[in-house]
């Protein structure tokens, strides 16, 4: 690994992966890692039985877990060591940016293409609370190895939906990929000049693609709303003096006019609902849940009254968080 990075041994790109890896790997470092891993397993084998017996577990419970997770770590280490330094740097940058964004914010909806898929499942199941919202102008670029014409363009379904008219007008077929950066990498690795990717401009720099056209999204004000998540929810009292938003889910009863009664709780108390989306719970097609945003927060008399009435009219209400409103609704 060390020699591959510093170039002590010439690397020929045409060589098979395994021989090139073996020729360039730092064998002393690799030997030390394997020896330390073996010693750790022996120590675990010696200490696991008494500790497991004390906790009422299988005698080799702990050493088995050590072997499984240690083995997985070894696989990752060997896989990364076979990559080129350039690829490692690319994956590190993309992984850092993606992990930071995924941990800090979650996209909820887009002004052009609507709700982000599965968000109504991810938010309630995350165990986290919404503490803020953020609006971001989203721009996409068409990038490829050549100037075209193109038969297909790869990207995330959201990006394809936001650029549907652009692609349709040019006769380009949109093909789904796991993410926009991954689509750019796929096009670069394919070596084909008749396929393109829709991704941020940074992806073109990372993967050596040429930007054929910028701002290919259909709407000039294409914007995605994100919510910021945290383990602990905000105290609504801290939002006093600021326009607040509250996000929650509720499940209506399977009776006539169930939704009408639920929405009446907010109408009669003067609470503005800015978002309402429905989705099915389970396979019964009888228990309908709704994902909603309202202006205001618990602690305000009108909001408290509306939520109390809603709890009576529905099978259940679950608050996902209250936070300061960033953009005025309406």
Phi, psi values for residue 320, rounded to 5°: -105, -10
3-state SS string for 199-238: ECHHHHHHHCCEEEEECCCCCCCCEEEEEEEECCCCCHHH
- From the list 179, 184, 108, 177, the residue with the least C-alpha distance to 141 is 184
Residue 224 is a catalytic residue: yes
Residue 223 is a catalytic residue: no
Of 24, 112, 180, 224, the active-site residue reads 224
Of 112, 150, 180, 226, the active-site residue reads 226
Bridge partners (DSSP) of residue 252 are 314
Residues annotated as catalytic are 224, 226
């Amino acid at each position: 690994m060390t020699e591959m990075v510093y170039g002590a041994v010439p690397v020929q790109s045409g060589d098979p992966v395994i021989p090139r890896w073996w020729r360039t790997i730092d064998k002393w470092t690799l030997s030390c890692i394997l020896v330390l891993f073996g010693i750790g397993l022996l120590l675990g084998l010696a200490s696991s039985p008494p500790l497991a017996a004390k906790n009422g577990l299988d005698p080799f419970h702990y050493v088995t877990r050590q072997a499984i997770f240690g083995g997985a770590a070894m696989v990752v280490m060997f896989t990364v060591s076979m990559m080129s330094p350039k690829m490692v740097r690319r994956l590190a940058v993309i992984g850092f940016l993606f992990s930071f964004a995924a941990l800090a914010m979650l996209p909820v909806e887009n002004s052009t293409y609507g709700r982000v898929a599965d968000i109504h499942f991810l938010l309630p199941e995350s165990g986290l609370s919404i503490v803020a919202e953020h609006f971001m102008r989203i721009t996409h670029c068409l990038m490829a190895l050549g100037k075209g014409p193109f038969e297909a363009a790869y990207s995330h379904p959201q990006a394809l939906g936001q650029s549907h008219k652009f692609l349709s007008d040019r006769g380009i077929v949109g093909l789904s990929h796991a993410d926009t950066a991954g689509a750019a990498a796929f096009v670069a690795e394919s070596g084909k000049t008749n396929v393109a990717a829709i991704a941020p401009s940074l992806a073109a720099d990372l993967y050596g693609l040429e930007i054929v056209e910028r701002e290919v999204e259909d709407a000039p004000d294409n914007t995605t709303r994100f919510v910021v998540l945290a383990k602990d929810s905000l105290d609504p009292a801290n939002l006093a003096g600021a326009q607040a938003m509250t996000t929650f889910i509720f499940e209506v009863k399977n009776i006539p006019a169930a939704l009408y009664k639920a929405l009446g709780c907010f109408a009669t108390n003067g609470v503005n609902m800015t978002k309402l989306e429905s989705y099915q719970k389970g396979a019964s097609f009888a228990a309908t849940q709704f994902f909603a945003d309202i202006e205001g927060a618990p602690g305000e008399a009108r909001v408290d009254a509306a939520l109390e009435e809603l709890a009576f009219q529905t099978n259940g209400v679950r608050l996902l968080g209250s936070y300061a409103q960033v953009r005025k609704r309406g």
